[in-house]
Chains A and B, each alone.
Chain A
């Protein structure tokens, strides 16, 4: 089960995720959150992963898909507050070279 929170800081939508970004639930919810951001005219998204416990291959695939969708629209998707295990997964999949990753929200917001 995944929970989420959404707030806007300037023109950046900050989406906090909590729990499992996994097949059949969290991955679908993530896509919905990105679709909502786009519908609201927000194409700059910061994903706060501090409370995420699991990201399976479907979840990581959805993150890649959302990254691509936003980038093609002239926006961006960046990550902040990666737990160690999620960082490990990004390292293993080499997606750490794709995503911009930040240690805190202030730095992340300043980068957009």
Chain B
């Protein structure tokens, strides 16, 4: 039973580049999280980071091309970690071009906060070039082990 309780919960999705599909992915994460005993508060913020990664992939990666797909991998290891990887079919992304949205000069900009959201809500955020040539974003969040009641 203990082994089962600590088994990873995993999901893989292929989504068309539509914003509505962000809701679908967040629902799948919520199911995994509930099944994996992730605290509601943690799940909320991980869900927000997932939303940002998907929005980036759909808007900036695939440029809203409905024929291009977004590949999502989600893993919940109960009481240990949540891992998410998002890949798009775009032309790649240079994270060095990001600016700090909390700089005084940038505070009133209407865009440029997506990656900042992800970094604020997750423990690690890494960018890679995917084998398909697009961007792969890998996110992780450590989970606090709950004490037995």
On A, residues with C-beta under 8 Å from B are: 22-25, 54, 56-58, 60-62, 64-65, 67-68, 85, 92-95, 97-98
Chain B residues with Cβ below 8 Å from A25 are 19
Q: Which one of B8-16, B28-36, B44-52, B132-140 is at the A interface?
A: B44-52
Q: How many interface contacts (CB-CB < 8 Å) are there between A and B?
A: 54
Q: How large is the interface on B (under 10, 10 to 19, 20 to 34, 35 or more residues)?
A: 20 to 34
- Do A56 and B101 touch across chains, with their CB atoms under 8 A apart? no
Tell me the complex Cα distance, A68–B110, Å: 9
Tell me the complex Cα distance, A54–B20, Å: 15
- Do A94 and B102 touch across chains, with their CB atoms under 8 A apart? yes
Tell me the complex Cα distance, A95–B113, Å: 11
Asked whether A61 and B51 contact (CB < 8 A) given A23-B59, A25-B19, A93-B102, the answer is no
Which of B55, B107, B116 sits near A98, CB closer than 8 Å?
A: B107
* 8 A Cβ contacts from B29-79 to A: 44, 48, 51-52, 55, 59
- Do A62 and B20 touch across chains, with their CB atoms under 8 A apart? no
Main secondary structure of the interface of A (DSSP, over half): helix
- Do A57 and B107 touch across chains, with their CB atoms under 8 A apart? no
Apart from A56-B52, A67-B108, A93-B116, 15 more pairs, CB < 8 Å: A22-B51, A23-B59, A24-B22, A57-B55, A57-B117, A58-B55, A58-B111, A61-B109, A64-B108, A68-B108, A68-B110, A85-B44, A93-B101, A94-B107, A97-B107
Which of B22, B110, B112 sits near A23, CB closer than 8 Å?
A: B22
22 contacts between A and B (CB under 8 A): A22-B22, A23-B19, A23-B55, A23-B59, A24-B19, A25-B19, A54-B48, A56-B52, A56-B55, A57-B113, A57-B114, A57-B116, A58-B55, A60-B113, A64-B107, A64-B110, A68-B110, A85-B44, A93-B101, A94-B102, A97-B107, A98-B108
Closest residue on chain A to residue B51 by CB atoms:
A56
Chain B residues with Cβ below 8 Å from A94 are 102, 107
